[in-house]
């Protein structure tokens, strides 16, 4: 079949009727583009350098029927982070991190024992539980290193400060690793807020109902009481320093009443 060459100058791309079939060429002289038809009868462009030519939407084939295209789905393996790392790998990494955290929490669960409170502004233990006392802790200066056998006893920081070269905020934990391991810190975000309904084991009413404590429950109270005198007790003159000398300087009441002045 003879080749038909159709020149179109100044009016852009040819229309569908300008080309009869694959054996015909239409040249857009204005834009320097050659067109023909494919076996399906669609107008196609030949020899265009799309990196330098402006392509009209009507010149594209296999384009969506609407723009933006209709909603559609992608498998997560088709998505990457822009650096070649696909979503499947990202998810696997996240799941591995979660698994590692779960393993660490599981290792700690049931091992840490509350030992009391510390004041990091003075590096002192301010209170101890029975569990802490049983392994050698007492109120006073934080021992360095901690007692042997005290592993996993932890204290909660009451007041912020520095200890063993590290800063502690109120609420942070000081964890004993035993005599050979020293101390470790567990630091929490100071901005975290715990709501009242998130606190377990709290009183059913506030203030809590009236209650009593034995003297032994109050640290050093018995020692302080032992240094006090009994109520209603008496002393002889000799028990009071200088009292007899002061009395000797006073006039006798009998002399005064008898008229001796």
Q: What's residue 123's pLDDT? A: 95
From 20, 39, 59, give the residue that closes a domain. Answer: 59
Dist CA 35 CA 44 (whole Å): 6
Q: Is residue 65 part of a domain?
A: no
User: CB count, 10 Å around CB of 161?
Assistant: 17
Print the domain residue range for 124. 114-186
**Average pLDDT along the chain:** 79
From 152, 186, 220, give the residue that closes a domain. Answer: 186
Q: Is residue 157 part of a domain?
A: yes
Q: What's residue 160's pLDDT? A: 92
Q: Is residue 76 part of a domain?
A: no
Q: Is residue 154 part of a domain?
A: yes
Q: Is residue 16 part of a domain?
A: yes
Q: Is residue 138 part of a domain?
A: yes
Q: What's residue 37's pLDDT? A: 83
Q: Is residue 31 part of a domain?
A: yes
Residues of the chain with pLDDT under 50: 1
Residues 118 and 182 in one domain: yes
Q: Is residue 211 part of a domain?
A: no
Number of domains in the chain: 2
Q: What's residue 148's pLDDT? A: 92
From 186, 215, 246, give the residue that closes a domain. Answer: 186
Phi/psi at 217 (5° precision)? -80, -15
- pTM for the structure as a whole: 0.35
Q: What's residue 1's pLDDT? A: 47
> 3-state SS of 199-239?
CCCCCCCCCCCCCCCCHHHCCCHHHHHHCCCCCCCCCCHHH
User: CB count, 10 Å around CB of 248?
Assistant: 7
């Amino acid at each position: 079949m003879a080749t038909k060459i159709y020149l179109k100058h100044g009016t852009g791309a040819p229309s569908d009727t300008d080309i009869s079939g694959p054996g015909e060429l239409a040249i857009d002289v204005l834009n320097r583009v050659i067109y023909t038809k494919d076996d399906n009868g669609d107008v196609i462009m030949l020899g265009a350098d799309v990196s330098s030519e402006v392509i009209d939407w009507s010149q594209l084939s296999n384009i969506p029927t609407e723009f933006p295209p209709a909603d559609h789905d992608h498998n997560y393996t088709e998505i990457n982070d822009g650096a070649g790392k696909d979503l499947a790998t990202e998810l696997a990494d996240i799941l591995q991190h979660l698994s590692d955290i779960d393993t660490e929490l599981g290792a700690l669960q049931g091992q840490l024992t509350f030992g009391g409170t510390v004041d990091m502004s003075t590096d002192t233990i301010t209170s101890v539980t029975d569990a802490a006392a049983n392994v050698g802790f007492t109120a006073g200066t934080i021992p360095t290193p901690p007692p042997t056998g005290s592993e996993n006893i932890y204290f909660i920081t009451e007041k912020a400060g520095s200890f063993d070269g590290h800063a502690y905020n109120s609420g942070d934990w000081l964890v004993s690793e035993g005599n050979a391991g020293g101390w470790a810190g567990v630091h929490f975000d100071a901005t975290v807020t715990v709501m009242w309904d998130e606190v377990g084991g709290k009183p059913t009413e506030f203030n809590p109902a009236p209650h009593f404590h034995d003297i032994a429950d109050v640290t050093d109270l018995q020692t302080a009481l032992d240094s006090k005198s009994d109520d209603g007790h008496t002393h002889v003159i000799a028990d009071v320093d200088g009292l007899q000398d002061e009395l000797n300087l006073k006039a006798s009441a009998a002399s005064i009443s008898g008229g001796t002045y």
